[in-house]
Structure 1
Amino acid sequence: MTAEAIIYTILWASAAIATKFGLMAGPPLMLASFRFTFAGVFLLIIRRITYHPLIPPRRWWRPLFILGALNTTVYLGASFIALTVIPAGLFNLFVATNPLMVLLVERFVLHRIITRNQWVGLILATAGLALGAGQSLWQWQTPMWSLALIVLGQTAMALGSVYFHVSHIDLPNIEVNMWQLLTGATLLWPVALGTEGTVPIHWNAQWWGALVWLIGGVSIGAMLLWFHLLRHGGARQASFWLLLTPVIGYILGWLLLHEFITWANIGATLLVIGGLILAQLSAPAAPRRKQTHSTNY
């Protein structure tokens, strides 16, 4: 599972970079709405061409709606707005809060035990997060509302990750992803049109290039890998890999957006990696679930 997790992390870290390019040509919620709609329709066409059923059993409608609202509308909608004012590197650093969110959700909602080493690892990683965020706030004068939106989005994703794992949705990953994208787009379009309907969009290479990468590499590729990691390792183990996103995010931001990498960024990254290693070593092996057609892609 390590190779899949690393590929997922690279794709997920690249999302902030592609979004920054797209935001140079259009407003955030419109960009997000187009992304979710195109990605969902593309998967719908694939399902139709391959003669798979398009409508899931009625018992899964509510779980799919909840996943779409949490993972797509709230998490990514809030993230797109935040990325209008914060650096991509800082955003990817905040993605590292997801394991802490997952642990807290599992602790207080599912009453699961958090080991001492996991707490130490998460405290170490959070210290790195605070170091990098504090330096970025001071240097770029990042507004607090954007950080609040990131925290809101990460909380929604943690809730969605845990909910997916405990709901045992017996559907192929591609179908789950398709419906969470279409549901999320349906919920987001009224907000986007109501707040950004009069904002001009430049239909240039930056806009379409960002959309193509966000749809193919992230909404489809990364999310299918994410569901694969959740099925085989659980929400807690899968989310720990998100701690690597600051490393990849800072490198991509430096290469593609010319964002600075400071000693504080390096120190924060080392603390995050140390927390990841400690938490991973102390994490108990997740029980394997009986596999059905849900592993078909």
Structure 2
Amino acid sequence: MKTALGLFFALLWSSAAIATKYGLLSTTPLALATSRFLIAGTLLFCYVYLFRRHYRWPRAGEWRPLFVLGLLNTTLYLGATFWALNKVSAGLFNLFVTANPFLVACLSYVWLKRALSIKEWCGMGIAGVGLFIAAWPSIAESEASISGLIVLSLGMISMAVGSVYFKKVQLDLLGVVINTWQIIIGGTVLIPFTYFLEQDTFFLKMDANLFGSLFWLIFIISIGTMVLWFYLLKQDAVKANNWLFMTPIFGYIFAAIFLDEQIASTDIAATALVIFGLFLSGNIVSSKQSLRKLQ
């Protein structure tokens, strides 16, 4: 069960890059990101508090963690990665995504005192090597600005800190409520950054690329996938982040289907290493084990 959910999360999460690429044909990165967050936040708010009405509002002591999560997971992580996609190659971006599980593992070890086994470290290392092999050709053939690398690094660190912080604070709120407020807060904070950073480059084309991109990013990614993400984080922050190792692999497949990009032999070899690394680290378990843990 958990393995199926982890794979489904990785599949959906990797599709966000394809949807973003289409959206960037019609507007600037931060404008696309801000529009996505504000629309998704508004829809979630209406669903949670106007249509369902049985979800409770956050208590006084829960607003601070929600603000921190919104800042880390939405404003900094997603805002930074959207902006950085114009400054670094897709291969380099995929490589940086794979660094997140390592950051979460280290932060969990220090902050949450979560012991990490040798198998977990080895599994993550093997998966990381596989993805480096897949990403290296793109890195070698492309150029990246220093500002892009810095912003992308800050985004990855922000997501890792947000994952561990979420596990540490243990908010007594359902995932859909947490997601609603982190998107609203994060999108609101992103507005002034969008204005100051893109006021000279902003453009907008009201076409199928824009609307299709926003539909997928809002309903499938910001709403559906993030609720699943919080569920996986509540089970285990390290194992949840390890599923990010699969997102570049699915990304190659989506890119071949939707962007007519070729899948190289190095991509196939990397896929084998990633799957073996996930198996070794304990993310891919038998269905019997999963059911026993759920009981």
Give the TM-score normalised by the residue count of structure 1: 0.88
Aligned residue runs from structure 1 range 144-183, under 5 A:
145-183=147-185
The residue that corresponds to 1:15 in the other structure is 16
Q: Map 1:1-297 to 2 at 5 A.
A: 1-47=2-48, 48-52=50-54, 55-86=57-88, 88=90, 91-143=93-145, 145-198=147-200, 199-231=202-234, 233-280=235-282
> Contact 2:36 / 2:218 at 8 angstroms: preserved in 1?
yes
- Partners of 2:59 and 2:170 in 1: how far apart? 14
The aligned counterpart of 1:293 is none
CA–CA distance in structure 2, aligned partners of residues 109 and 215 of structure 1: 32
Mapped partners of 1:281, 1:210: distance in 2: 31
The answer to whether the 8 A contact 2:89-2:139 is kept is no
CA pair 94-258 structure 1, distance change in 2 beyond 3 A: farther
**Counterparts in 2 of 1:281 and 1:257: CA distance versus 1, 3 Å:** closer
Contact kept, 8 Å, 1:86 with 1:142, in 2: the verdict is: yes
Comparing 76-85 with 90-99, greater Cα deviation is found at 90-99
Find the aligned partners of 1:87 and 1:275 in 2 and give their Cα distance: 25
- Tell whether the 8 Å contact from 1:13 to 1:92 is kept in structure 2 after alignment: no
Structure 1 pair 153/188, CA: closer, same or farther in 2 (3 Å)? same
What runs of 5+ residues in structure 2 fail to find an aligned partner?
Answer: none
Compute the displacement of 1:96 (Å): 2.3
Give the number of aligned pairs. Answer: 287
In the alignment, the residues of structure 2 paired with residue 12 and residue 127 of structure 1 have an alpha-carbon distance, to the nearest angstrom, of 21
In 1, distance between residues paired with 2:15 and 2:29? 16
Residue aligned with 2:112, SS: coil
Secondary structure, counterpart of 1:258 in structure 2: coil
2: distance between equivalents of 1:86 and 1:271? 25
Q: Give the aligned residue type for 1:134.
A: W
TM-score (norm 2): 0.89
* Residues 124 and 275, structure 1, Cα contact 8 Å, conserved in 2: yes
Distance in 2 (CA, whole Å) between partners of 1:126 and 1:89 is 14
Counterparts of 2:91 and 2:206, CA distance in 1: 26
Unaligned runs of 5+ in 1: 290-297
Letter in 1 for 2:15: S
DSSP 3-state at the match of 1:62: helix
Q: How high is the sequence identity, in percent, across the aligned residues? A: 42
